[in-house]
Amino acid sequence: MKLATIKNLKKYYGDRLILDIDKFEIEEKDKMGIVGENGVGKTTLLKILLGEIKADEGSITLTDSYSYISQLDDGYRMCENSKIKKIFNVPDEYEDYLSGGEKVKMRVVSALEENASLIIADEPTSNLDRESIKSLDNMFKKYNGALLIVSHDRKFLDDICNEIVEIEDGKLKVYKGNYSKYISLKEEVQKSLNDLNEVKACFAVFTDGTKNNVCVGGFGNDIISSLANMFMESPEILKLIETAIKLLAVRKNKKAIGMEEFEEAITRVIA
């Protein structure tokens, strides 16, 4: 069951395109952590989803059954006398003199008590001490609904999330697994990109750096065979080469390739 969907979304600040999202969905069992450099639009994405900021283009749908833990002082006035409240040691009523951590706790307790299908949280561990973060960690692990969390707390994202959503250059990319898995997958992608650059350099040498087409009648082609020989002890790169050629071979009436096509095929393999 889809709890939220975003399609063809664009958001500008002045001339700068902050978010450019083709498609994004939240399912009922998703525990998503949103990551990215400061200023890439993490909080903006949440506020667009919540309807607090208007997108310039695109469509957004969000379930009515959601709770929001914001970074701002929303002034929750009272917490019910519940088990969650006791675990977090939350004051009975909101007061201006409460510490930042106590105010965050009240927002967390209020969200958890609503028992919504989706909790959207913007830096929920901010201002919390170690024990409170540990309690929140345990509560979120037991929570049956979906989670969409912006956080810089890597351990928290490691413990809670089953997907990581990266925002970079306005685009979203979803990685399956927790934060540690995300880092591992990012390293694999970077290695593949490095391999691609190495293959491109060798391909350019064999074609004298020109855009001239090269016949690809099969794997017996001189250039392809030479590249394969060069990377015989690098199976990852060799696999990239062979897979790229297979992609090109299935194109109807395609008898030759150039550098741009070769690069495109390998990029599709590692994307």
- Which residue has better confidence, 208 or 177? 177
User: Which of 171, 72, 78 shows the shortest CA–CA distance to 122?
Assistant: 72
Contact 133, 19 (CB under 8 A): no
Extended strands (E) in 182-268: 214-215, 256-257
* Pairwise CA distance, residues 229 & 255, whole Å: 23
Nearest alpha carbon to residue 4 among 70, 67, 63, 66: 63
Q: CA-to-CA distance for 46 and 53, rounded, in angstroms?
A: 9
The pLDDT value recorded for residue 99 is: 73
Render pLDDT for 90-144 as a digit per residue (tens, 0 to 9).
666 666 657 777 777 788 888 888 889 999 999 999 888 898 899 899 989 999 9
Structure-block tokens of residue 87: 């675990």
Scored b (16 or more CB within 10 A) or e, 86-104 reads ebbebbeebeeebeebbbb
What mean pLDDT value characterizes the chain? 78
Which residue has better confidence, 93 or 255?
93
Helix segments in 210-256, DSSP class H: 222-230, 235-249
Q: Return the pLDDT at 175.
A: 92
Six-digit token string for 175: 């990685």
Q: What is the pLDDT of residue 197?
A: 67
Residue of 140 and 221 predicted with greater confidence: 140
Amino acid sitting at position 143:
Y
pLDDT digits over 156-205, tens only? 999 999 999 999 999 999 999 999 999 988 887 777 666 666 666 655 54
